[in-house]
Chain A
Amino acid sequence: MGQTPQKWPGIELSNDDLLNKKVTQTRYHPRAKFSWSAGEAISRFLNELKEGRLIGRECKHCNKILFPPRMFCEQCFKPTSKWVYIKDTGTIQTYSISYLDKDAKRITDPIYVGVVSIDGAAEKMGIMHYFGEVTKDTIHIGMKVKAKWKPPLERTGSILDIEYFRPLKEGEQ
C-alpha cells in the first residue's frame, strides 16, 4: 500500500552560496547565429515597409484582408489570393508601459508598447509595436494612431522602419 508523502526533497541554494563559491559549477556561453528567410508573404511585407506602405493579403473565401500578410488562411485553409494595400493608421487594442528591457533589467525611461489594429485589415488584425508622443496619462485603449516612419534612406526592410505609432491628429487620414 502507498503512503502520503511526508518529506519534500530539494536543497536550496542562496545567492551567497553562489557568490562565495560554495557550489560546484561549470559554465558555458553558447554562440549561435541565425539568418532567417522571411518567406513569401513577409518578404513582400518588409519590402513594402521600405516604401512606407503596409500591405495585407486577401482571403476571398473568408472575405477578409489578413494582416500581417500570409500565403494561406488558417481558418478556411485555402491559399490567399491577392495583395491589398491598407492604411498606416489604426486603433490601440492594448498596451503596456514597460520599465523592463528584454533581459528583465530595470530602465527608467519606459517603453510604450502594444497591439495596434490597422485600418483596412480585417477587424482587430494588427501588429505589436511601440507608441510615441504619448504619456501614461494620454495613452488609452481605443486611441487612434498613425505610423511614424523613419526617413526613406534609413529604412532597411524591417518592422523598425516604423519608429512608432503616434496619436492621429485631427483631420489627418
Chain B
Amino acid sequence: MRKVAVIGAGMTLFRRRLMETPKELCFEATRMALDSAGIELKDVDAVISGSAPDGFDGVHMKGEYYSDGCGAYGKPYMRVFVGGGTGVFSAISGWYHIASGLADIALVVNEEKMSSCQPHPQSVFAHIWDPILDRPLKPNLIWIFAMEMNRYMTVHKIKKEDIALVAVKNKRNAVDHPCAQLADPNITVDDVLNSEVLAWPVQRLDISPPSDGAAALVMASEDAVKRLHVETPVWMKGVGWCIDSTMWTDRDLYFPEYVARAAKMAYKMAKIDNPRKQIDFAEPYDPFDYKELHHMEGLLLAKKGEAPIMTREGVTQRDGDLPTCPSGGLLGVGNPIAATMGVKIGELYWQLSGQAGKRQIPHEIKTGVTNAWGDLMQYGAVAVMGV
C-alpha cells in the first residue's frame, strides 16, 4: 500500500442554522481545502463525500444532489455513509483511493444540514430504529445514549460529576475554535449537573448540539507530496473500522468492543503496540460527554473504567500528558454529523502540521488518534495520523 498524507483542510462555521444550501456549504469547505493545499480542482483525481441520513435534507441521493459543491463534476466520485462513523470513515475511503494507486490526489468532502428538518431532526432519527421490535415503543434517539451511559456508569461506579468534566473541558477548549457553536469559557461542572434532565442520566449540557456545517480534506500520495513540495504533510499512519452486532439489545453496552477492534486494526498498521505511550493526543468522538470516556477506553488509551480518573487528574487537558479533544470536540464546536470530520481528522491535521493557532497543543506532538461512531451504537471508524 502507498503512503497517504493530508495536505490541506477546510471547514465552515458550525451553527444551528446556516443560510447556505448543502452544495454551497460543500463549495466553501472544498475551496478552503484546495487553497490550503495550494492546488486547483484540475489537480484532483477522485472525490469522496460523506453525509448522514438523507432524511435530514428530505433529498434522497443526497450525494448526487450536492456533488457539484464537492468538485465532483467529471471525476470518479462516490458518497460513503456509515451513520455517525462517516466523519472519520470518508477520510478512510479517501485513503484507500490513494493507497491503492487509483488516485494521486483526492478530495474528501463531508456535509450536514440538520436544520432543514422540522420541527426537530429527532423526528428523522426515529427512522433508524428497527421498525418491528423498537419503533412501536416510540423511541427517542437520546434513549440509546442514556441507556449506554447508565450501563457504563453503573458497571464502573462512575459519578456524573466526573463525566460532566468532559463537557466542561470541551466547551472551554472550543472557545479557541473559530467555527464553534457552543463554546463557553465560564461553564462549570455545576452548570452541567443542574441542566435540564432530558432522559436520565443524560442532561442538556451532556449533549452536543445539532448543527449545519461542512468540512473538506485534500489527501495526496507520497509522490504528489514530493511533486507539490508540501512542507507539512500529515500522514495517515493507520486506519481501522468495524461493526458490532445489529442486535444491540444482545450486547453489554458498557464497553465498545467494535471500537477496540477498529483501533487494533489501525494500531497494527501504524506499528503501535502501546497506544497510551505512543499516542500523543486524541480526538475521540464526543457527541455526548460520556462518549469521550467510553471511546478513550475503546481506543485503548485508558483501561476500562479509568478514563474518568485520567480526566479528573487533568491528563486530558490541552496541556496535559494526553490532550483529548483539543478542538473543543462535538460538545463545544458542534455536531453536524458527517461534517464533524473538521474537528476530528481536520483537528489532527491542523495540530500535527502546527496550524491549530490558539488551540495548538503547547508541547511537541508526533502522533494522534481519532474515531467516529455510528449506526445504532455499533460502528467504529478509527484513524491514526502522524508526522
Contacts and interface: CB of A to CB of B under 8 A. Distances in A.
B151 A113 contact: no
B13 A3 contact: no
A2 B20 contact: no
A100 to B, nearest CB: 5
A34 B133 CA distance: 15
A171 interface: no
B249 A102 contact: no
Interface stretch (B88-96, B167-175, B192-200, B274-282): B192-200
A141 B25 contact: no
B35 A10 contact: no
Interface residues on A, range: 35 or more
A98 B147 CA distance: 10
A114 B58 CA distance: 31
Contacts of B1: none
B120 A160 contact: no
Contact of A100 (B39, B198, B231, B252): B198
Q: How would you classify the secondary structure of chain A's contact residues: helix, strand, loop or mixed? A: loop
Interface in A81-126: 93-104, 110, 113-115, 122, 124-126
B11 to A, nearest CB: 7
A3 B199 CA distance: 45
Interface in A117-173: 122, 124-130, 136, 141, 158-160
A10 to B, nearest CB: 3
Contact of A102 (B38, B139, B252): B139
B137 A128 contact: yes
Given A1-B229, A130-B137, A158-B136, A11 B19 contact: yes
A12 B15 contact: yes
Contact of A4 (B7, B15, B122, B355): B355
Contact of A10 (B13, B132, B137, B357): B13
Most buried by A among B8, B11, B133: B133
Nearest to B201: A96
B10 interface: yes
B253 interface: yes
Contacts of A68: 133, 247, 249
Contacts, number: 180
Contact of A8 (B39, B119, B178, B230): B178
Contact of A96 (B18, B123, B131, B200): B200
Contact of A101 (B140, B230, B357): B140
B249 A13 contact: no
Contacts of A4: 36, 350, 355, 357
Contacts of B39: 2
A19 interface: no
Contacts of A129: 137
A125 B245 CA distance: 12
Most buried by B among A4, A95, A96, A114: A96
B147 A114 contact: yes
A36 interface: yes
A94 B122 CA distance: 22
B100 interface: no
B300 interface: no
A159 B202 CA distance: 26
Interface string B198-217: 11111000000000110000
Contact of B252 (A93, A97, A110): A93
B375 to A, nearest CB: 15
A136 B119 contact: no
Contacts of B154: 94, 141
Contact of B8 (A2, A10, A100): A2
A124 B137 contact: no
Contact of B32 (A5, A102, A103, A141): A5
Given A94-B154, A97-B200, 18 more contacts: A2-B39, A4-B357, A9-B32, A10-B12, A10-B28, A10-B179, A13-B18, A18-B17, A96-B147, A96-B150, A98-B198, A99-B198, A101-B138, A103-B140, A104-B120, A115-B249, A128-B133, A128-B137
Interface of A: 1-5, 8-14, 18, 23, 28, 30, 34, 36, 38, 42, 46, 66-68, 70, 74, 93-104, 110, 113-115, 122, 124-130, 136, 141, 158-160
Q: Which 9 A-B pairs have CB atoms at the shortest separation, nearest pair first?
A: A10-B13, A96-B146, A2-B38, A104-B122, A9-B28, A94-B151, A98-B199, A97-B200, A11-B19
